[in-house]
Structure 1
Amino acid sequence: MLSITHHMMRYLFLTCAEEESLMHAVQATAFGDPTVLSLAELPDPVPGSGQVAIDVTHAAVGLIDLFFRRGVYKDTPGMPQPPFVPGLEVTGTISELGEGVTGFRVGEQVVAMSQTGTGGYASVYVASASQIVSIEGFGIAPELAVSMIPNAAMAYAAFTEVAHLRQCESVLVHGALGGLASAFPGVAKQLGASRVVGTVRPGKLDAAKATELPYDRIVDSTRLSEELGDERFNIVIDPVGGEIRTQSLAVMGPGGRLIAAGNASGDWEHTVPDNRLWLGSVTIAGFNAGAYLPTHPQVVRPALEAARTAISAGLGQTVVDVLPFDQAAIAHERMESRALAGRLVLAAQ
C-alpha cells in the first residue's frame, strides 16, 4: 500500500511539474492574415550558457511581426516558418540565469531584444544576456520601456555606426510616429542634433500635433517640397520606402546620408536613380538591425544603455495601447489599418 501511494504521489508530482513547465504563447500556425494567430501551451524554454529566462509582462507588436506572419520573408534562409511565436521585444523579470551569466540577478526587471526576431509573444522568453538591459531604478513604465528602448537602441546604432551623426547636424525622419521612427528624434537630440523634423501622412497630422516626441516640427509627407522649401538635412531616416525615398534626395545637402531603415510602404520594387547620388554628393546606406547587430555585437551593450538613458530622460514619450495576449490578432489588425499613432503592446494576463 505504501508502495502504491509512493508511486501515485510521484505521478502527481511529475504531472504538476509538467503542467508548471508549460508556458502560454501566441503562435502563427501558418502564413496568412491575423486569424492564423492562436493561443497555445508550449514547453518553457530553458536558458543555455550566456542566456537568461524572463517571465514576460509585456511584448511589443511591431511591423516585422506582421511581415513574418504574412510570410514576406518565407523564402529567405533562416527566417521563421510556421508554427512560430512572433515577437521581437519583451520586458519582464529574470526567472533563471544560464551558466556564465553575471551582472544580472533573478527578479531583476529587464528589457530584451531578440536575436531571431521571434519568441516574444509568450509568458516565458529566453534571451542572450548581451541583448538585455536592466530598467530597475530608472522610473520607466514597462509598457513604455518595451515600446521604446529596443528601437532607441537601434536608432543609436544607426546614428553612431552607419550615419555617423555629428554635433549640430539636422535630421529628417519619415513615418515620424511609427514604432521604429519614433525612437530617432530623442536619440538624435541626445547625440547633439541641432534640429529634427518628422514627416507623416495627412491622416496623422492631428496626432502629430499632440505628440510629446521631441520633434522640432512635423510636416505632411505628401507635400515635402512645399513644406520644407529650401531647408536641407544632413541625415534622412527612412523606414517608409517607396517614392518618398527618392523625394528625400531633393531635401538633402551635399555630404548628406540617407539611412534606408525599413519598407513600411510595402513597395518592394522601388529603385533610386543612382546618378542623383553622384550629382547631389549624397549617400544611401541600409540599416537592418537584425542583420547588423549580430555581426557587430560590441555595439549592442552601449546602444541599449544609451537608449535607456534617453527614454528615462523623457525623450521617447509616445502613446502606448496595451492589449492582453489573447487579443494578438486584434493588435495585428490594428497595425494593418495604419490608424495607429503610437505603439501596441501585449500584456501577460
Structure 2
Amino acid sequence: MKAVQVTQFGESQVLALTELPDPEPGPGQVAIDVTHAAVGLIDVFIRQGLYEGRPGLPQPPYVPGLEVAGTVRALGEGVTDLAVGEKVVTLSASATGGYASVYVSDQARVLSTQSFDLDPALAVAVVPNALMAHVALTGPIQLHPGDRVLIHGAFGALAAAFPGIAKQLGASRVVGTVRGERLATAASSKLPYDQIVDSADMSAVLGDERFDVIVDPVGGQVRTESMDLLAPGGRLLLVGNAGGDWQHGVDGNRVWEGNFIVAGFNAGGYLPAHQEAVPAAAAAALKAAASGLADMEIELLPLADAATAHERLENHTARGRVVLVP
C-alpha cells in the first residue's frame, strides 16, 4: 500500500511517501480502503516531537493520521455488522495509520455512513470531530437548553464541529471568534454561528454579553480573556492549544471567585473510558453532517503532498479542513 511515514521527529520534510505491506484485519477488526484522510493539528504536534517519549503516542517510524473515510475492504473474525464495500468513517485510537491507502481499525471505532448521503470528504472532515464535540458538550461540560455558547478559533477543524452540535443540544446563541484576517470569510460560512467576531477585539465587541459555555481550542491570551466573558457559574472547556503557548496557566483565583468550571477534553484519553457516550454522539454527528449543520470548506491534496498539508496548518493558511486523497 501507499503510505506516508514520519521517519524522525522534525520539520514537515520528515514526511516521506513510501510503500508498505497491506495490513490484514485481526479478530474484531476492519480493513478499510482509504479514500480520504483528514489532517489535524495533533498530527503536526506529534510530528514536531512535542510528545516525544510520551506513553501511548507514536514514535518514529510511524504513519500519521487520526481520521479516515473509505469503504470496507475486509472483515476480521467476529465482525458481522458491516459488509465489504460499505462506506465508513473511523477515528484512530493511536493517532496513527490514516495517511495510507489501507487502514485497519477496531470494529468499535468504525461508523457506517452507508445510509447517509454524505460526500466522504465531508464525512472525514466533519463526523469524527462532531462526535467528539457531542461527547465534550454532554460529558465534561453539561450544555443545557438555552445556554449561550462562545467558540474560539471558529473555523478550525475541531471548533467548526461545535456550533452545529451546540444548536442540536438547544443552545440559544452561538458566537465564534477568529483572527482578524479570517473575518472576511465569515459572510460565506455555512456554519450555524449567530455572530463571528475578531478575537483581538472580542471583549469590546461583545460588551456586557456573557456566556454559559466557552469552548477554547486556542489557548494563551484568548484563554485568559475568556474568564472575562464567562457568566457566573459558567463553564470553560479546553479542547486544544492551537496558539502554541504551552506555558500558559489558568488563574485559580478567578475560577474560585467566579464559581467557574474549567474542564479539559482530550478525546484520546476520554473516549476509551466513556464508551457509553459514543452511540448517541455518533448519531448526533451523522445527523449534523447530513443536515448541513457542519458544512465547512475542504481542501483536497494528494497523499504525496502531506508535507504541504502540514505546512498549511503550521502557518495558518489552511482554509477549513485539509484532506489527503491516496
* TM-score past 0.5 threshold: yes
Q: CA deviation at 1:339?
A: 1.7
Contact kept in structure 1, 2:299 and 2:319, CA below 8 Å: no
Q: Aligned pairs, how many?
A: 326
Question: For residues 184 and 250 of structure 2, what CA distance do their matches in structure 1 show?
Answer: 31
Identical pairs, percent: 56
- 2:286 aligned to 305, 308, 328, which one? 308
The runs of 5 or more residues in structure 2 that have no matched partner are none
Query: Which structure is larger by alpha-carbon Rg, 1 or 2?
Result: 1
In the alignment, which residue of structure 1 is the partner of 2:52?
74
In the alignment, which residue of structure 2 is the partner of 1:6?
none
In the alignment, which residue of structure 1 is the partner of 2:62?
84
In the alignment, which residue of structure 2 is the partner of 1:334?
312
Partner AA of 1:262 in structure 2: G
Contact kept in structure 2, 1:207 and 1:341, CA below 8 Å: no
In the alignment, which residue of structure 2 is the partner of 1:265?
243
C-alpha deviations, 1:127-170, integer Å up to 9, x for none? 11111111113111110110000000000000011111111111
In the alignment, which residue of structure 1 is the partner of 2:38?
60
The CA RMSD over aligned residues, in Å, is 0.9
In the alignment, which residue of structure 2 is the partner of 1:36?
14
Structure with more helix by fraction: 1
- Match of 2:236, SS state, is strand
Question: For residues 111 and 41 of structure 1, what CA distance do their matches in structure 2 show?
Answer: 23
Contact kept in structure 2, 1:153 and 1:307, CA below 8 Å: yes
Question: For residues 77 and 219 of structure 2, what CA distance do their matches in structure 1 show?
Answer: 42
In the alignment, which residue of structure 2 is the partner of 1:15?
none
TM-score (norm 2): 0.98
In the alignment, which residue of structure 2 is the partner of 1:177?
155
- Match of 1:162, SS state, is coil
In the alignment, which residue of structure 2 is the partner of 1:192?
170
Partner AA of 1:89 in structure 2: E
Contact kept in structure 1, 2:164 and 2:294, CA below 8 Å: yes
Question: For residues 172 and 193 of structure 2, what CA distance do their matches in structure 1 show?
Answer: 11
Question: For residues 209 and 83 of structure 1, what CA distance do their matches in structure 2 show?
Answer: 43
Question: For residues 282 and 41 of structure 2, what CA distance do their matches in structure 1 show?
Answer: 21
Question: For residues 344 and 173 of structure 1, what CA distance do their matches in structure 2 show?
Answer: 21
C-alpha deviations, 1:197-228, integer Å up to 9, x for none? 00001111111222111100000101121011
- 2:200 aligned to 205, 219, 222, which one? 222
Higher alpha-carbon deviation: 40-49 or 167-176: 40-49
Contact kept in structure 1, 2:53 and 2:59, CA below 8 Å: no
The alignment status of 1:297 with 2:275, answered yes or no, reads: yes
The runs of 5 or more residues in structure 1 that have no matched partner are 1-22
Q: CA deviation at 1:47?
A: 1.3
The alignment status of 1:47 with 2:47, answered yes or no, reads: no
Q: CA deviation at 1:325?
A: 0.5
Q: CA deviation at 1:24?
A: 0.8
* Pair 1:178–1:112, CA change in 2 (3 A): same
Question: For residues 209 and 300 of structure 2, what CA distance do their matches in structure 1 show?
Answer: 38
- Structure 1 consecutive aligned stretches of length 4 or more whose deviation exceeds 4 Å: none
TM-score (norm 1): 0.92
Partner AA of 2:258 in structure 1: G
Partner AA of 1:241 in structure 2: G
C-alpha deviations, 1:59-80, integer Å up to 9, x for none? 0000000011101100312211
